[in-house]
Amino acid sequence: MNRLEDYITCTQAAWLMGTSIRQVQGLAQKSKLNRIKKEDRVLIEVDSIVNFAYQKIKKYERAVQYFKNQDKVQYWKNVECHIQMFSDVKGYLSMPQAAYILNSSREGVRLMVKREALEAIISKVGKVDRTLISEESIEKYVNGILGKYYSDFKNLFEYIDCENKDKYWMECEGIIQKNYTDVESKRRQYYKKSYVRKEKNKWESSTKN
């Protein structure tokens, strides 16, 4: 990897991360991105952006490896984590198995099922009902998340690979400014409409009384 600049503006960081300036500022305030103040403006450490993106993608590395593995039975035999409950239904995983490959907790998996991000069935073992998670839905979910991340961070990947960072910013300056202007315009329109709607509701309520 080529040596990166140490710090960039919030506008540049938003471009690399495929997000808004406000989102970048929020991540910095929560210490998820490193920042410094220089000449009355906030600058974001590029390495912290790279690490943020890497950690997002790395979370689903285990699931990617699982679905690449042809021998699922052997996969679970090689897992170092002690999992007591396994699914006996083909194409489905037990709650602990699903939590393991998703790098999540059981509660996290239950929440994904509740939000219909994952599909589940109930399997009766004796008198006990067990929730099993569809492997197909897990793979679809992971592919969707990773697809979004790779799309969001596409500018970051290009930036990392380019040799001349100054030239990169010069070439992107126009489109970055246009994106910023468009986002701010949409934000103002949204809040203007929200304000008008709120005032209209207040007026309608007052006329009913």
Give the pLDDT of residue 38.
85
Q: What is the C-alpha separation between 145 and 139, in angstroms, rounded?
A: 10
Low-confidence residues in the chain, pLDDT < 50: 1-3
Give the pLDDT of residue 1.
40
Give the pLDDT of residue 58.
97
Give the pLDDT of residue 195.
61
Partners of residue 8 on adjacent β-strands: 44
CA neighbor of 17 nearest in space, from 195, 156, 187, 191? 156
Residue 93 DSSP code: E
Q: Which residues of 130-162 are buried (b: 16+ CB within 10 A; e: fewer)?
A: bbbbbbebbeebbeebbeebeeebebbeebbee
Q: What is the C-alpha separation between 96 and 130, in angstroms, rounded?
A: 11
**Contact of 35 with 45, CB cutoff 8 Å:** yes
**Contact of 140 with 102, CB cutoff 8 Å:** no
pTM over 0.85: no
Which amino acid is residue 53, in one-letter code? Answer: A
Start-to-end C-alpha separation, the chain: 68
Give the pLDDT of residue 3.
46
